[in-house]
Structure 1
């Protein structure tokens, strides 16, 4: 009797697996998210998506050093970055652009990495000022991090000590051009 129940249970399981297998259902097409992503990359929809991305760059406000003052000034009403779709945000979960504005100390680097990891993809980084690009006057200091571009994937470098708000606006425009001209349109998204 027990063997008969096991055989019956096995037959029922096989029957259910046959009915549930979507590959064998006639008239039903199954797909994966990768197949959908590959399809969208080949259509004009991806161009529309990238147009939206380039026209809504929300940058995270975390001023560091004297470049931070210029970054804050850029987000104020005088420069009206809203007309470009560039809006300052306070949360890494709402921002898609990180601006490293000034020197990065060894003590602050783990927090900066954590903020970068909390940002949703797609995300970009702008290195603003000589301190973030090459160390500036703190070059080879015991407490500052050198070569930030080896730690983070920097998209745009803005030189100056400190760069003016107009230079930051030009950096954002260059980032918008980079997003619009991207050929792979979807890598790391």
Structure 2
């Protein structure tokens, strides 16, 4: 019964969960801007931001994934019902960004576990530092077939 209700609801609206995993927060600001701002207003197309993994359809991950949050990210991912999609947003999420080599000549940082695809599977990658809201919306749209059709 719950699965049937979820399928019907997914045809009507999409819930996006934003998870910040370390970094400067610029990508988070752009994700929220893409969904909430009156200029882009993704909510008019029934795309909503949620903070409950059990309601989420698409997980949007920003930041370099520090070792402190890696296990929490994995747990959040596991709590999202199938079918689900993951969108990695920004240079930090895709490759660790400037934080990956924060040790400089001393080597890579001991605090960074990322990029995101080292922790959980990623379906869509949105590059940029910080990516434009249009690119973030395009990334979410690219993830929709997996969520709606289960492909």
Q: In 1, Cα distance between the equivalents of 2:143 and 2:12? A: 10
Q: How does 1:15-94 map to 2 (within 5 A)?
A: 53=10, 56-64=13-21, 65-78=25-38, 79-94=40-55
Deviation string for 1:23-78 (max 9, x for gaps)? xxxxxxxxxxxxxxxxxxxxxxxxxx6x9746632111333432111111112132
What runs of 5+ residues in structure 2 fail to find an aligned partner?
1-6, 101-107
Query: Highest CA radius of gyration, 1 or 2?
Result: 1
- The one of 104, 114, 120 equivalent to 2:81 is 120
Q: TM-score normalized by structure 1?
A: 0.63
Higher relative contact order (CA 8 A, sep 6+): 2
Aligned to 1:129: 90
Maintained 8 Å contact 2:61/2:86: yes
Q: How many residues align?
A: 134
State the Cα distance separating 1:86 from its structure 2 match. 1.4
Shift of 1:166: 1.1
Match of 1:150 in 2: 118
SS of equivalent to 1:68: helix
Aligned to 1:96: 57
| Structure 1 vs Structure 2 CA RMSD | 2.3
